[in-house]
């Protein structure tokens, strides 16, 4: 087992994650700004593969064209000298007060237009830096006052925006896939498309559904108490897992963005196992940040910790597959007892099935040794 991350592991961080300055609703910044160029170098040294950004993580919202070019030039140089990639980019459609009531779903058509413009420009920037995935997190697309916004209209407006931007990407010959990221609440009282599944349902209604998938985030589904392993499984089954945001979070509270697997050891073990076994070959992106009590040194402890625990869990997933006791129990549990599944519908099958006699007591009596296998997983996780 090697716990030293390497680019082959495809670990990525957002500029906003290691650059998080520790401001929260009740307190001011505790850390100075982190230069993106420095972030690239430090992440590369730590073994990361890539770095992602919102447009304004790199280029301030009011930068002049000259400033933009200078920043991008320096950033590209850092990428080149370190071999770091930019697999994903996204737009900040939430920080500026202009987005106080949403971007693509805002009432004001000018705000919606501005959000489109800002996204097109941010796509240009992302593509210029190599991004292949473009994430949409509609953090302000929601409401506190359901009297004032029509959720049906909001869905239509969001669809119009995504369709427009798909058109733009195609027209520009951008090799981009879009990944939609859900969150149930915060900063809005309720955010539209509250769960990953909500976006999975929305995607088939788009003009170019093949271009669009999802970017599930552990913390966001965990806030609603949903089982993230199940959420990601549905995205994979639908062929729509285009990106993933890894972090940690306690359920039923504010967005914590904790170091990966610092709290939810067992659920994130199953997630890592699923990712590794599913054929997913995209970035393992950490969307988290260091505790507010940390200084910059702690930020790098945080980043290393995310990657380290991922690798530990990945190794445990391998062990799971080779663990004789676990595999024997799984074989027993999954044993079909020589009985074939019923197969697709035919009238004859239905008619035979309707007439078949079942002995419920016998079927009930079958052993399902879930306590035992679960304990073996706990043992495996605890290293005993």
Nearer to a second copy, 15 or 79 (CB): 15
* Residues 6 or more apart whose Cβ sits within 8 Å of residue 8: 49
Query: Least separation, in Å, of the C-beta of 77 and a second copy?
Result: 27
Query: Least separation, in Å, of the C-beta of 154 and a second copy?
Result: 8
Of 9, 55, 57, 248, which is the active-site residue?
57
Sign of CA pseudo-dihedral 87, 92, 93, 94: positive
Order of strands, sheet of 212-214, starting from the edge strand that comes earlier in the sequence = 212-214, 177-181, 133-137, 88-90, 50-54, 11-14, 284-286, 245-246
Contacts 24+ apart (CB under 8 A), 337-340: none
* Residues 6 or more apart whose Cβ sits within 8 Å of residue 289: 16, 17, 18, 20, 22, 257, 299, 302
Nearer to a second copy, 130 or 163 (CB): 163
Nearer to a second copy, 18 or 131 (CB): 18
Rg of the Cα atoms in the chain: 23
313 neighbors 272 (Cβ within 8 angstroms): yes
Query: Least separation, in Å, of the C-beta of 298 and a second copy?
Result: 5
Give the residue from 129, 127, 155 showing the smallest Cα distance to 142.
Answer: 155
54 neighbors 121 (Cβ within 8 angstroms): no
Of 9, 24, 41, 54, which is the active-site residue?
54
Nearer to a second copy, 160 or 276 (CB): 160
As a whole number of angstroms, the distance between CA 204 and CA 194 comes to 17
Distance of CA 227 to the CA centre of its chain: 14
Nearer to a second copy, 66 or 384 (CB): 384
57 in active site: yes
Nearer to a second copy, 49 or 193 (CB): 193
In the block, tokens 């210029």 appear at: 128
- Which regions of 262-316 does DSSP assign to beta strands (E)? 284-286
Q: Which residues are known catalytic residues? A: 54, 57
């Amino acid at each position: 087992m090697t716990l030293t991350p390497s680019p082959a592991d495809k670990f990525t961080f957002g500029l906003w994650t290691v650059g998080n300055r520790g401001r929260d609703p009740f307190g001011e910044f505790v850390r100075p700004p982190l230069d993106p160029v420095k972030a690239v170098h430090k992440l590369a040294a730590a073994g990361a593969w890539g770095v992602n950004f919102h447009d304004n993580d790199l280029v301030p919202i009011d930068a002049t064209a000259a400033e933009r070019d200078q920043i991008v030039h320096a950033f590209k140089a850092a990428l080149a000298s370190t071999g770091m990639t930019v697999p994903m980019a996204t737009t900040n459609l939430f920080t500026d007060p202009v987005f106080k009531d949403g971007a693509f779903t805002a009432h004001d058509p000018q705000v919606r237009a501005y959000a489109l413009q800002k996204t097109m420009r941010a796509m240009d920037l992302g593509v210029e830096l190599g991004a292949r995935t473009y994430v949409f997190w509609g953090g302000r697309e929601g409401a506190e006052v359901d009297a004032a916004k029509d959720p049906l209209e909001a869905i239509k407006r969001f669809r119009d925006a995504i369709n427009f931007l798909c058109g733009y990407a195609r027209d520009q010959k951008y090799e981009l896939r879009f990944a939609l990221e859900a969150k149930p609440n915060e900063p809005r009282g309720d955010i539209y498309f509250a769960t990953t599944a909500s976006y999975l349902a929305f995607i088939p209604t788009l003009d170019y559904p093949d271009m669009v998938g999802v970017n599930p985030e552990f913390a966001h589904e965990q806030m609603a108490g949903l089982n993230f392993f199940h959420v990601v499984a549905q995205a994979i089954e639908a062929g729509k897992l285009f990106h993933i945001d890894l972090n940690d979070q306690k359920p039923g509270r504010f967005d914590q963005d904790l170091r990966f697997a610092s709290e939810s050891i067992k659920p994130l073990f199953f997630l890592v196992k699923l990712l590794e076994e599913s054929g997913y070959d995209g970035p393992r992106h950490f969307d988290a940040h260091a505790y507010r009590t940390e200084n910059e040194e702690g930020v790098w402890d945080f980043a290393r910790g995310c990657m380290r625990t991922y690798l530990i869990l990945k190794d445990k997933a391998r062990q799971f597959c080779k663990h004789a006791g676990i595999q024997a129990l799984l074989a027993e549990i999954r044993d079909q007892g020589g009985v074939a599944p019923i197969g697709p519908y035919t009238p004859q099958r239905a008619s035979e099935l309707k007439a078949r006699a079942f002995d419920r007591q016998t079927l009930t009596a079958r052993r399902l040794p879930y306590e035992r296998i679960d304990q073996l997983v706990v043992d495996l996780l605890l290293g005993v």
